[in-house]
């Protein structure tokens, strides 16, 4: 019974390149959340998705960031034209329920370094 899977675990990009982070939720979970953790900070909510729908993207930067959760395949967090300030750990979490309660289970994270 695999947990939440994220890949890659580490990603190095140069300024201006694109970063693609992937997340496969736990089996049976249809709700996916993305969080970002900057050094010495707590996790900050970015976006909440269900299959083929963005439910809440209030934590996403207005530019360069996008997320999707297609009918088939993993959820993708995409960062275009990365800058040094994007360097952070990005965590994906999944939940079976969404609204009405339900603990979120986290993946191991992707550590993005922008050179």
Query: DSSP string of 14-64?
Result: -TT--EEEEEEPPTT--EEEEEEE-TTS-EEEEEEEETTEEEE-TTS-SSS
Pick the closer one to another protein by CB: 5 or 17: 5
Pick the closer one to another protein by CB: 17 or 89: 89
Q: How far is the CB of 94 from another protein (least distance, A)?
A: 11
Cα–Cα–Cα angle for 9, 15, 20, rounded to 5 degrees: 35
Pick the closer one to another protein by CB: 53 or 72: 53
Q: How far is the CB of 41 from another protein (least distance, A)?
A: 6
49-to-52, 57, 75, 81, 103 alpha-carbon distances in Å: 8, 8, 8, 23, 15
Task: State the residues that interact with another protein by CB under 8 A.
Answer: 4, 6, 33, 35, 40-45, 48, 55-56, 58-59, 91, 93, 95, 98-109, 111
Pick the closer one to another protein by CB: 85 or 101: 101
Q: How far is the CB of 23 from another protein (least distance, A)?
A: 11
């Amino acid at each position: 019974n695999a947990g939440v899977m994220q890949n890659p675990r580490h990603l190095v990009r140069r300024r201006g390149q694109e970063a693609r982070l992937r997340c496969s939720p736990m089996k049976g979970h249809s709700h996916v959340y993305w969080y970002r953790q900057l050094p010495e900070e707590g996790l900050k909510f970015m976006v909440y998705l269900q299959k083929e729908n963005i439910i809440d993207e209030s934590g996403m930067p207005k530019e360069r960031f996008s997320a999707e959760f297609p009918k088939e395949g993993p959820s993708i967090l995409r960062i275009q034209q990365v800058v040094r300030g994007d360097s952070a750990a990005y965590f994906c979490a999944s939940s079976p329920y969404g609204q009405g309660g339900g603990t979120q289970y986290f993946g191991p994270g992707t550590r993005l370094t922008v050179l």
